[in-house]
Amino acid sequence: MLSEQERVVLIKNLTARVIAAAQPFDVAVVCDDDEVAEWSRNLGAQVIWTPTRGLNGAVRDGVDALGERGVERVIIAHGDLVAPEGLADLPHAADVVVIPDARRDGTNVLIVPAAVAFNFCYGPQSFTAHLEEATRRGLSVHIITNSALQHDVDEPSDLEGLDLSTLLN
């Protein structure tokens, strides 16, 4: 539906909005790409370098690195959120806070204690897998639905109804 260049512009614009919405917290981008690292630093984010770890390993390494820096709770939010406003104002009503995607398949936002060896399960059915992991670890869970944070861009149909002219500029 979009050209390669348009996809790059879209993800950069969406990610920049997620980084901005996460402030005033310290924001860290976990990556293994020099260009992404430089771009993220230019937006004021810290970079946690995680070469060849895959998504779940990279998230684990990022949470561990933040925990070593004294961070007690980590908000994990992916860069493809369409409306990330309010990210910094999420309630901490339980040990783990989960916002699934609109399909209730993926996990768009996950808040976890940094000190817990939580097994991240991003990919198909990650929402259910993260709930099961929290239960397995005896952690209380708060699920947030009916939130703008449930809208991400994974499929071409996720772009329907969006004003692409503003997201691609």
Question: DSSP letter at 106?
Answer: S
> Cα(109)–Cα(167) distance, rounded to whole angstroms?
21
> Cα(27)–Cα(57) distance, rounded to whole angstroms?
19
Q: What pLDDT, in 10s, does the model give residues 13-54?
A: 999 999 999 988 999 999 999 999 999 999 999 999 998 889
> Cα(159)–Cα(169) distance, rounded to whole angstroms?
15
Q: How confident is the model at residue 69, as a pLDDT?
A: 95
Domains of the chain as residue ranges with CATH: 4-167 (3.90.550.10)
Average pLDDT over residues 141-145: 97
What pTM value is reported for the model? 0.93
Q: What pLDDT, in 10s, does the model give residues 64-111?
A: 999 999 999 999 999 999 999 999 999 988 999 999 999 999 999 999
Q: What pLDDT, in 10s, does the model give residues 112-130?
A: 999 999 999 999 999 999 9
